[in-house]
Structure 1
């Protein structure tokens, strides 16, 4: 039921933002980074209910991963998404609980997703900033302790980036853009992808220690003059 809600919101947002090509959306609870996909992440607000102790808690750090892949022929594409879970911090039983996200926050997440598709696939930049989630409660606990956050355990949680920890992504590859996307957007895609580009220094050239020819000649002449003067001095003595 929840997946169908995400799909309906996605289809409506595509229409609202003027994308007439066919795009699909699926929810995958085991989704991981894949080659050839643009990786896009968001955080939203949600609440959780522990199935073991019946405790409720709120979090504004509910991590969502999207993998976006466009189709050159149809000019449409496919999106896969994963909503990461959290564990109850009061229970000794490690059970990952699904978040309950309000319809309004679902719409905001999808609106940001479609804007990303517009920018990265069709070269149409949205001048409006991404929509922030609505925080429905001041009592926000969040997933960190990291040991209770599924995204942290898999080292894909954006909280780790903010606190200086390294994010490991298996085989990161920036997505290939359609030929109709502008070159400026292509450069933006390279900067915003998960891939890390390392500058590899070239092999050092051999140092040349030989002196220039003129310098060698001058040096020999000076030595000869000094030797000649010493020889004359010894002769007079």
Structure 2
């Protein structure tokens, strides 16, 4: 859809909630992720869209369409720059990149999320960090990283079997390497999809500060608090996350989500084992435990704290012991110890 339609929907969602300030929205294909101008904020979302090749007219759907927003507010005037990441045809030689065709429904969802993020990042409003979900398309073919602009720039959230490709690309860029070990098929799709984000965030925080050593990170649901192998160190943090029951689909937020890290350094090779503690639905009988869905912001905070703790515990650096605070969610119900894996193992910090 044209810019005028995006602007119309944006202004409709912004009406009455952006403090009477003037906001303008523009398309800017030159903006890049993690490179906002000074004073600007960034927000990245995935959506679904359709593409059509301008050469052969072949059309295809995708649920891996990245949209990046850069936003700024100064003296009552706000600006939003938008970039929609393109794809090209896999069957044509030298096919040009084409813009996504995003439905009105998904543009509306993007604008709802954008306005909410503006309120949080530009007006410092205390809102929950949850996002509105976009409408997914029926996609019968796997995602094509070689034909995706988002993949080429390293921000596309690809499925678990593509994480290895991402790791290999990133290892060429950084002195600290990150490997995904001990793949466990029982991990949920939500957790597997988050793996690429944990990868890039960890590398970003570790780059240049872990003395050029090689560090590997793996997800290991079998590790337990206070049960360390010889030579390993432990670090436990609380974060916020959302859960969704796989039986009744009920969703709930929690500010009592425990994450445990076991870490070891030997002969310049470091390993980190990570376990996120699960919860289950209080309404269903024999409901299975489900993995937490942790926001990008809180993954970043976990990785900042982890890298700092590695520097203290594994390199004996004399740093302050303070932590970066995670972003809390709005939770209206009390914590449920009987449905919390962390409580059952005695490490959950309850009120």
TM-score w.r.t. structure 1 length? 0.65
Give the distance between the partners of 1:55 and 1:129, measured in 2 at CA: 36
Pick the structure with greater CA Rg.
Answer: 1
Alignment of 1:89-168 (within 5 A): 89-127=90-128, 129-135=130-136, 137-141=137-141, 144-159=143-158, 162-164=194-196, 165-166=199-200
1:155-209 CA-to-partner distances (Å, cap 9, x unmatched) read 232335845353798xxxxxxxxxxxxxxxxxx9985779x8564779979xxxx
Greater fraction of residues in helix: 1
Query: In structure 2, what is the equivalent of residue 34 of structure 1?
Result: 36
Query: In structure 2, what is the equivalent of residue 66 of structure 1?
Result: 69
Give the distance between the partners of 2:316 and 2:139, measured in 1 at CA: 57
Give the distance between the partners of 1:151 and 1:46, measured in 2 at CA: 14
Give the distance between the partners of 1:89 and 1:66, measured in 2 at CA: 27
Give the distance between the partners of 2:54 and 2:108, measured in 1 at CA: 27
Higher relative contact order (CA 8 A, sep 6+): 1
Query: What is the Cα deviation at residue 150 of structure 1?
Result: 0.4
| Structure 2 CA distance for partners of 1:204 and 1:61, relative to 1, 3 Å | closer
Greater fraction of residues in strand: 2
Q: Which runs of 5+ in 2 are unaligned?
A: 159-165, 167-192, 205-294, 319-351
| Structure 2 CA distance for partners of 1:13 and 1:52, relative to 1, 3 Å | same
Give the distance between the partners of 2:124 and 2:42, measured in 1 at CA: 17
1:197-236 CA-to-partner distances (Å, cap 9, x unmatched) read 564779979xxxxxxxxxxxxxxxxxxxxxxxxxxxxxxx
Query: What is the Cα deviation at residue 24 of structure 1?
Result: 1.6
| Structure 2 CA distance for partners of 1:7 and 1:56, relative to 1, 3 Å | same
Query: What is the Cα deviation at residue 96 of structure 1?
Result: 0.7
Q: How many residues align?
A: 182
The SS at the match of 1:97 is coil
The SS at the match of 2:24 is strand
The SS at the match of 1:34 is coil
Query: What is the Cα deviation at residue 19 of structure 1?
Result: 3.6
1:130-153 CA-to-partner distances (Å, cap 9, x unmatched) read 111112x423546x3211110111
| Structure 2 CA distance for partners of 1:20 and 1:88, relative to 1, 3 Å | same
Q: Which runs of 5+ in 1 are unaligned?
A: 170-187, 206-237
CA RMSD of aligned residues (A): 3.2
Give the distance between the partners of 1:204 and 1:101, measured in 2 at CA: 49
Q: Is the 8 A contact 2:53 2:98 kept in 1?
A: yes
Query: In structure 2, what is the equivalent of residue 5 of structure 1?
Result: 5
Query: In structure 2, what is the equivalent of residue 225 of structure 1?
Result: none
Give the distance between the partners of 1:19 and 1:58, measured in 2 at CA: 38
Give the distance between the partners of 1:95 and 1:10, measured in 2 at CA: 29
Give the distance between the partners of 1:19 and 1:191, measured in 2 at CA: 27
